[in-house]
Amino acid sequence: MLKLNKIFQITCFVILVSCSLTKSEYMSPEGEVHKLIFTQYGHDFSDFQNEIQTLTSTITAKNKKDWEFKVKEQLSRTRIAYKKIEFIFDYLEPNYAYLYINGGPLPKLHKEVSEVDIIPPNGLQRLDELIFSEELSTSYQEVSDKTKELLQAIRFIKDSHLSDTLSQQNVFESLRSGVVRIFTLGLTGFDTPGSGNGILESLVSMRAMHNAFSMYRSTLTNKQKDRFEEILEVFNQGIQYLEQNRDFDTFDRMTFLKRVVNPLYKNLYSFQKLLHVDERSLNRHAQDYNSTQLFAENFLDLGYYSQFAFNDIKNEASIELGKVLFYDPILSHNLDMSCSTCHNPNLGFSDGLIKSATNLHNVTTKRNSPTLLDVGYSSKYFWDMREHDLEKQVAHVVEDSLEFNIGFKEIEKRLKQSSEYVKLFDEAYGRISSNTINRRSISNAIAAYVNTLNSFDSPFDKYVRGEASDLNTSAIAGFNLFMGKAACGTCHFAPVFNGSVPPFYTDAESEVLGVPQKYTSLRPILDKDQGRSGNGRRGDAHPHYDNSFKTVTVRNAELTAPYMHNGGFETLEEVLDFYNIGGGLGMGLDVDHQTLAGDSLLLNEVEVGQLISFLHALTDTTGLQPGKIDLPKFEGQPYWNKRGEPIIID
């Protein structure tokens, strides 16, 4: 028996050895690097947990000398420990990280628990805000509770998380999204509302990514090595730049973007291809990892936001059809209104009015008509975020008694009377359905067209991508202010400069600015529009969302005056005055839950001018003018063919 056992053991040993031998014959050596990276990550993860543990005990020792100082110091240490693992942790667990570990200090919708729809701000970012506030001792209880919750959250996820694996592809994508995170959240100060440690923390993240990437060194062929050394050199330059430029207000984000962020984002991708590492992305992030540029139309995957679309949103035939529908008043009851009435291509797809004219005399829409440029890069639509689907958005217009004031059935009945329309619909949807003209195809086609209204060829974009050698110095200074001292980039996130949250861009934020009814320094009155909390969605009916509005893009703002959800600001100068004074609170209005800091930005006149130059440098409607559109003819309805002029058909 004993003997048999022995033989069995030896056989096992031999099998194991030969297995691993054959395995290593077939596996390229770099195939193992991701495992080394994950092992190192596991150690760093434990360090982070220990730092939180120490933070809890530091906080409890309230009677000790220099308590406040020690708590601050320990929080900084804890945050730094997190910054070492963040690029991987956040990549693998984006929702968990956002909800419990280091999300913005805003209440968030809880997707997993239906009864508790809002969870309060949590994690490191909230702690940064609390611990670095002036009244640390008064917020003792919350600080203590939040730290314990953080410890629990990390303990809860640790085992399942560390038993997960990290693929080669994950390594590259996490490095690349890590670079984006540094640029969009670290260097803007988004992450560190209290301590202002953004640059130091970015340095820590950069070093951690550099170290992970360095692990490839020993496994490469000569050809790969050259590329590897080049990339390592860019990492080193980034580290050096962050070491040498520690002042938040004067940090040159443009230089950092061009010298470090862009080359890393691009070259890590080509290195990944050089190693033949799979490029297929999981559909969990909106970032399209096949893009080589941060400031480019394809950096975000529009298909992510419209993934439940009736037909592929990039289908040419649908787009062509949608374009005709967008400009055709046949969709409105009175044949006098099309989408373009309020979203005019000559005005950046807005309409120049405070609020839009409707089909009733002297009655306007409730809100200002926003631009549709780059609107597809978001998971939520309308100022109050009441719609989460670009296709379904169309129904709001069709059925609104002040807008198209019609139903889909009536539109279908009309469109079927035009052989031209029937042909266009058959071409786009013939494969899907025999009855091609229906609610879904109409909505899908219009959404497909709206999704093409993207503008990433502005002078700013071209300069950043290196396609233009110059951009005026005022606009460059404005960009640096936007992403730094003026804090605009902490809400209008790069690259779309809207509320889609980096580095994965899956969620879209709304904010409370305290916008007055009209911009005036004489007795301003807070706008009464309830905003997001009144949008009819159960999960949004929360006081934190009172007067909260979608963070829209500032791209093409030059073309889209007047501004804000109520059109209450005539010029960009007024908008900037408002921000400079600290929004509604700064104006002395009584605003609950304002999420914009209520103190002055202390921008002088020159800086305000620079910010406006930057906004102007974001203007681009290249290729988006529709040209001449021949509206389809209706054979049996001659008077419909005169549409475009207001014709009442009742």
58 interacts with ligand HEC by CB under 6 A: no
Q: Which stretch binds ligand HEC (CB under 6 A): 268-276, 279-287, 413-421, 549-557?
A: 549-557
Largest CA distance in the chain: 100
According to CB under 6 A, which one of 339, 347, 406, 424 is a site residue for ligand HEC?
Answer: 339
563 interacts with ligand HEC by CB under 6 A: yes
According to CB under 6 A, which one of 199, 203, 294, 375 is a site residue for ligand HEC?
Answer: 375
Site for ligand HEC in 166-185 (CB under 6 A): none
363: its two tokens:
């009655």
Instruction: State the minimum distance, in angstroms, from the CB of residue 568 to ligand HEC.
Output: 8
501: its two tokens:
């949250």
Instruction: State the minimum distance, in angstroms, from the CB of residue 553 to ligand HEC.
Output: 8
According to CB under 6 A, which one of 228, 383, 519, 545 is a site residue for ligand HEC?
Answer: 383
Amino acid at 642: K
Single out the residue of 293, 287, 458, 312 nearest to residue 377, CA to CA: 287
403 interacts with ligand HEC by CB under 6 A: yes
172: its two tokens:
């590259």
Instruction: State the minimum distance, in angstroms, from the CB of residue 631 to ligand HEC.
Output: 15
Taking the CA atoms of 391, 396, 399 and 403 in sequence, report the sign of the dihedral they define: negative
CB atoms within 10 A of CB 582: 19
According to CB under 6 A, which one of 59, 300, 319, 394 is a site residue for ligand HEC?
Answer: 394
323 interacts with ligand HEC by CB under 6 A: no
557 interacts with ligand HEC by CB under 6 A: yes
- Answer whether the bond into residue 503 is a cis peptide, omega within 30°: yes
Count of residues near ligand HEC by CB under 6 A: 50
Whole-angstrom CA distances from 91 to 112, 261, 504, 562, 568 are 19, 18, 8, 39, 40
Q: Which stretch binds ligand HEC (CB under 6 A): 67-75, 390-398, 428-436, 642-650?
A: 390-398
554 interacts with ligand HEC by CB under 6 A: yes
596 interacts with ligand HEC by CB under 6 A: yes
According to CB under 6 A, which one of 365, 379, 418, 610 is a site residue for ligand HEC?
Answer: 365
According to CB under 6 A, which one of 302, 347, 575, 585 is a site residue for ligand HEC?
Answer: 575
According to CB under 6 A, which one of 505, 579, 634, 640 is a site residue for ligand HEC?
Answer: 579
According to CB under 6 A, which one of 168, 197, 202, 358 is a site residue for ligand HEC?
Answer: 358
Amino acid at 200: L
Q: Which is nearer to ligand HEC, 235 or 579 (CB)?
A: 579
* Whole-number Å distance between alpha carbons of 475 and 637: 53
According to CB under 6 A, which one of 549, 582, 618, 631 is a site residue for ligand HEC?
Answer: 549
94: its two tokens:
């984006």
127 interacts with ligand HEC by CB under 6 A: no
Single out the residue of 375, 350, 344, 500 nearest to residue 447, CA to CA: 375
* Whole-number Å distance between alpha carbons of 323 and 349: 13
Instruction: State the minimum distance, in angstroms, from the CB of residue 342 to ligand HEC.
Output: 3
Q: Which stretch binds ligand HEC (CB under 6 A): 26-34, 185-193, 455-463, 564-572?
A: 564-572
Instruction: State the minimum distance, in angstroms, from the CB of residue 170 to ligand HEC.
Output: 32
545 interacts with ligand HEC by CB under 6 A: no
* Whole-number Å distance between alpha carbons of 140 and 128: 13
* Whole-number Å distance between alpha carbons of 358 and 397: 11
Q: Which is nearer to ligand HEC, 33 or 596 (CB)?
A: 596
Residues 6+ apart with CB under 8 A from 204: 80, 83, 84
Residue 454: left (phi > 0), alpha (psi -120 to 50), or beta?
beta
* Whole-number Å distance between alpha carbons of 377 and 19: 48
* Whole-number Å distance between alpha carbons of 493 and 76: 25
446 interacts with ligand HEC by CB under 6 A: yes
Q: Are 147 and 56 within 8 A, CB to CB? A: yes
Q: Which stretch binds ligand HEC (CB under 6 A): 31-39, 176-184, 255-263, 547-555?
A: 547-555
Chain-centre distance for alpha carbon 563: 21
Site string for ligand HEC, 491-510 (x = CB under 6 A): xx------------------
Q: Are 78 and 58 within 8 A, CB to CB? A: no
- What angle is formed at CA 272 by the lines to CA 271 and CA 278, rounded to 5 degrees? 160
Length of the chain: 650
490 interacts with ligand HEC by CB under 6 A: yes
Contact footprint for ligand HEC (CB under 6 A): 337, 339, 341-343, 356, 358, 365-367, 369-370, 372, 375, 381-384, 393-394, 397, 403, 446, 450, 486-488, 490-492, 511, 513, 515, 549-552, 554, 557, 560, 563-565, 572, 575-576, 579, 595-596, 611
